[in-house]
Amino acid sequence: MNIKELLMADLKDAMKQKQVLRKSVITMLRAAVKQIEVDQRRELSDDEVIDVVVTQVKQKRSVIDEFLKGDREDLANEAKAEIAVLEKYLPEQLSMDELKAIIADAISEIGATTMKDMGKVMGMVNPKIKGKADGKTVSQIVKDYLN
């Protein structure tokens, strides 16, 4: 079963279970996927759907801080719940140790020593961790290794 079929099955289940939040998040995600398919006039692959999910998660994470700054904890909690629903459609997340091992391998393979090499390291690491780790976390670990 591909991700789009899983989304449809989960949407039906959320409607049957009367899970309003889950239903709205899945509907939003399906709409985002459909919009890209219409714009590009082709069907998205599972990897491309994962990219859409990653984008949605990033957007939700970025608004959480804004909601907290605006003293809107209710909206921040709702965004966190939406992220939890979205993360179900992402591949299993890498542990911190696995992530550090991948980054250390890339740094040693490239021979990176300074922050000038960060772009090369990120270029090598990103395809390996696509959808499996948060970009900010990866960036911070690479900076820590190169400093």
Assigned token pair, 129: 């961790």
Rg (CA), the chain: 18
pLDDT at 130 (0 to 100): 87
Domains of the chain and any CATH numbers: 3-87 (1.10.1510.10), 96-146 (1.10.10.410)
Query: Residue 88's closest CA among 10, 34, 1?
Result: 10
Q: What does the chain come to in residues?
A: 147
Query: Tens place of pLDDT for every residue, the chain, 147 residues?
Result: 899 999 999 999 999 999 999 999 999 999 999 999 999 999 999 999 999 999 999 999 999 989 999 999 999 999 999 999 999 999 999 999 999 999 999 999 999 999 999 999 999 999 999 889 988 899 999 999 998
pLDDT at 88 (0 to 100): 95
> How is 10-72 classified by DSSP, letter by letter?
HHHHHHHTT-HHHHHHHHHHHHHHHHHHHHHTSPPPHHHHHHHHHHHHHHHHHHHHHHHHTT-
Tell me if the pTM is above 0.75: yes
